[in-house]
Structure 1
Amino acid sequence: MLCQQFGIDDSERRRRLDINRITSADQEALKSLKPVLEKHMDEIVDAFYAHAGKYPEALAIIQSAGSSVEKLKKTNPSWFAHMFKGEFDLDYFESRLIVGRVHAMIGLEPVWFYGAMSTYYDVIYPIIVKAYKLNPGKLTSAIVAFQKAFNLDQALVMEAYIEFGFLEEIRNIVEKTHDVASSLQESSEQLRQGADESGQSVQEVAKVSEQLAHSAMSQAERSAN
């Protein structure tokens, strides 16, 4: 599981909620939003992909990954379903990390992801305002909770995108570089030892040659006498 890889256990899950100031009141507000937004889900999803469809390069990325707008339209409701459960359990965290990994694998850059979030804001906020226009307190709570949840969504997706799009490759390069450096160091050590041994052999040969030369000179002197 990706949660395990990213060190997200139940304690870390609670810490992330605390960092994003997601309280039990926010969780209840999100649950209350479920029936409000579910009946507009087709409108929300259609607006999302209508905007994406304006950019051929974004559609090309989707198609090259073996998917299509029609297929993706079926996944959006489950994306929101996780959020509007208001639980933010490990399954929720896992689902967001998976999305980030997929984005990295298919090369879907952050510009498209954040652009998609802007589309959601444009469509969803007016729906929330219309639903709670007679209850300012509830309206404020709903918008704040929704924004906090989306902030956490984006943080998790980008965390995985950075990991699988950049950091993993960098770590692999560093590891390979370390292996090469270790191999070079080992070869250098072997060469040094070889040079030391060669130097020692040369010294020994020189010593023997000197002894032989001295012996030959002594012999020559005796012969001359």
Structure 2
Amino acid sequence: MDDWGIRKDYLQLTAEEEAGLTSLQPLMAQHVDELVKAFYRHLLQFEDTRALLTDELIATRLKDAQKQYLLSLVTGPYDRAYMEGRLRIGEV
């Protein structure tokens, strides 16, 4: 079994659970901007992360990336491409 098959078996994510996740798309889309704002408000409370977010262009890109990440959690499909995307995020 390849790496993808092992990971999928480990999660035991059923088709019904995948459908449940994707059914959350409208809710996530409705609230994603506020979630990202709240997350970055929290990060700005700490000196180390505040120093990383002083450049407005970088902060904007990071916020956009966070928004796309959150939306992708409920978009599916939860396939090999999805796993590879999660692994790329983990490398950064």
What is the TM-score when the length of structure 1 is the normalising length?
Answer: 0.36
Q: Where do 5+ consecutive residues of structure 1 fail to align?
A: 1-9, 103-225
Render the CA deviation track for 1:28-86: whole Å, top value 9, x for unaligned: 0011001111111111110110100101202334569xx63222111122212322123
| Alpha-carbon distance in structure 2 between the residues aligned to 1:70 and 1:26 | 33
Give matches, 1:40-189, under 5 Å: 40-61=31-52, 68-102=58-92
Structure 1 vs Structure 2: percent identity of aligned residues?
Answer: 29
State the AA in 2 paired with 1:26: E
Q: Which residue of 1 aligns with 2:16?
A: 25
Q: Where do 5+ consecutive residues of structure 2 fail to align?
A: none
- The SS at the match of 1:85 is coil
Q: Number of residues paired by the alignment?
A: 91
Point out which structure has higher relative CO (alpha carbons under 8 A, 6+ apart).
2
Q: Return the index of the structure with the highest Cα Rg.
A: 1
| Alpha-carbon distance in structure 2 between the residues aligned to 1:48 and 1:42 | 10
What is the TM-score when the length of structure 2 is the normalising length?
Answer: 0.80
- Whichever structure has more helix as a proportion of its residues is 1
State the AA in 2 paired with 1:27: E
The answer to whether the Cα contact below 8 Å between 1:45 and 1:76 also exists between their aligned partners in 2 is yes
Give the alignment's Cα RMSD to 1 decimal. 2.3
Q: Which residue of 2 aligns with 1:113?
A: none
